[in-house]
Amino acid sequence: MKVAIGGPLKLAFRPWVEGLENVPAEGPAILASNHLSFSDSFFLPAVLDRKVTFIAKAEYFTTPGVKGRMTAAFFKGVGQLPVDRSGARGAGEAAIKSGIEVLERGELFGIYPEGTRSPDGRLYRGKPGGLARVALATGAPVLPVAMIDTEKIQPPGQVMPKLMRPGIRIGRPLDFTRYQGMEHDRFVLRAVTDEVMYEIMKLSGQEYVDMYATAMKRQLAEAAKAEKEAEKAEREAEKAHRAAVARADKEQAEKLRAALEQTGRKETGGPSER
């Protein structure tokens, strides 16, 4: 996949990279990145010599048919790891377990602390569960990563990417071994996550928003729904207004016609006068 996809990807988009020397040549490490575009999971592994394993929903690997098998082969080839989101605690626990297994094999594990793509290009609050718990459980160093301009190449919902140069900045590894054994302390998890997000913010230059991206997406969806409903109500009000005006015009025309007919009868005289 690095030859079939990584090579052409680098040739076509020519991504620039800073901080490659911070990625260890061997041994476990966590790449904690901001998340601007679906293409982030392709550009980052493409510029590294080592394999990077991300997590992906299990449905990508279990869809039946020829298309399903091709999809599964593709995601396996680019280093995606299936995560079963069923169960009491769902994807969170599955992601943590998968990340620990990857790191225990001495490999690179990629994760997006925001939990989802940024809806507007800003950097959102990191979720404290996955990243911090994996880091503290394994003692693996955390490398903050900033993806630059990938949201301009492939905005959410756009299938065909725009041809332009993205950037990748990889920061110095962060050591959290001082917190080992404290992976169930929510204050420690929050502190570790915030420290990583601060480093990502410095690397990316993004505006930081102290709320979760999922919450912002809900707000945007609710706002879009409210706007749509307001536009619908405005159209219905306009339609009702036009109907009322049409009725008033019709009534006025009927009154005018009746008045003209009455005037005509008076001028010509009734049948008894003739």
Please write the tens of the pLDDT for every residue from 224-265.
Answer: 888 888 888 888 888 888 888 888 888 888 888 888 878 777
Q: In angstroms, rounded to a whole number, what is the distance separating the alpha carbons of residues 144 and 30?
A: 8
DSSP per-residue letters across 66-122 = HHHHHHHHHHHHTTEEEE---SSSTHHHHHHHHHHHHHHTT-EEEE-TTSS--SSS-
- Per-residue pLDDT, averaged over 155-165, amounts to 82
What value does the CA radius of gyration of the chain take, rounded to a whole number of Å? 31
Name, in order, each residue with C-beta under 8 angstroms of 14's C-beta and a sequence gap of 6 or more: 165
∠ CA 65-68-70, nearest 5°, is 110
Q: Which residue has the higher pLDDT, 242 or 82?
A: 242
Single pTM value for the model: 0.78
Mean pLDDT is highest, among 26-30, 84-88, 154-158, 265-269, for 26-30
Please write the tens of the pLDDT for every residue from 178-197.
Answer: 998 898 899 999 999 999 99
Name the phi and psi angles at 265, rounded to 5. -65, -35
Q: Is the pLDDT of residue 170 over 90?
A: yes
Which pLDDT does position 236 carry in this prediction? Answer: 86
Is-contact 177 115, C-beta < 8 A?
no
Which pLDDT does position 222 carry in this prediction? Answer: 87
